[in-house]
Amino acid sequence: MKSIHTALSVLALITVPVAAAQTYSLVVNGQVSAAGAVTVNGQTYVPLSALKTLGIPSSVQGKTLTLGTGAAATAPGGANQRASLEGCVGDTLFNGLWRVTVRSVKPAQRYNGQQKGYEVTFDWKNGSAVTTDGQNTGVKGMQLILQDGSTLESETVQDVLYRKLAQGAGNTFTLAFYADSAASATLTAADKLLVEIDPAVLKATGVKAAYTTPTPSLRVRLGCRK
């Protein structure tokens, strides 16, 4: 029994009165998982890879398994950061409608170096069953948070928000986030990319799609890579 717990590195989700070591096929967001679920002594467990698909990060240190970030949600530089699905560069975050994978972040500059910032390249795919765009599904915008807590905006984020995508379709975008000339001299490293999503907008527009989480906003930690 101990080997089952160790091999799966799992989280107990529900309790059902069934025999020990009963196995199940596992479907995550409509896709069959390579690893299944198992019930041991009435406790059903799923592999951490399934949680990762749902945008829930995990880490193991010693004998402690931590899910999520390991800390209460706090705003960059404040105390009211919105709850979000979170992952690293290379992770695909899926909120039931949009699949987002940050591929890279690199320094950028313009106007002969007077303004500095970062370019973020990411995949943006429609995971719903209808043709739609970010604006009509509640995507409010994107922000790049630096290590000192300052925030950069992109002048071309509308390219993402207004791009209509068919079911399963996607694009790879590169957005530039620049600081003003004064702040460019002391620019700190890029820390997080935030995608703000208001699910109430989706309900109001009548788009025939739905988020599978009440907190569909996305947060990508740019200092880690998977």
Residue 29 has pLDDT above 50, yes or no: yes
Q: CA-CA distance, 24 to 5, in Å (whole number)?
A: 15
Q: How large is the average pLDDT for residues 51-67?
A: 68
Q: Determine the pLDDT at residue 169.
A: 97
Q: How large is the average pLDDT for residues 81-102?
A: 90
Residue 63 has pLDDT above 50, yes or no: yes
> Would you give the DSSP letter of residue 132?
B
pLDDT class of 37 with cuts at 50, 70, 90: confident
Instruction: Give me the sheet containing 11-15, strands edge to edge.
Output: 11-15, 43-46, 37-40, 22-24
Q: CA-CA distance, 103 to 19, in Å (whole number)?
A: 44
Count CB neighbours of 162 within 10 A.
Answer: 11
Tokens 């930690």 correspond to: 221
Q: CA-CA distance, 115 to 113, in Å (whole number)?
A: 5
Q: Determine the pLDDT at residue 75.
A: 34
Alpha carbon of residue 133 to chain centroid: 18
Residue 80 has pLDDT above 50, yes or no: no
Instruction: Give me the sheet containing 98-110, strands edge to edge.
Output: 92-94, 98-110, 115-126, 170-178
| pLDDT per residue as tens digits for the range 96-110 | 999 999 999 999 999
Q: Determine the pLDDT at residue 43.
A: 76
Q: Determine the pLDDT at residue 3.
A: 45
Q: CA-CA distance, 107 to 127, in Å (whole number)?
A: 30
| pLDDT per residue as tens digits for the range 126-176 | 999 999 999 999 999 999 999 999 999 999 999 999 999 999 999 999 999
| pLDDT per residue as tens digits for the range 163-213 | 999 999 999 999 999 999 999 999 999 999 999 999 999 999 989 999 999
Rounded to 5 degrees, φ, ψ at 149 are 90, -5
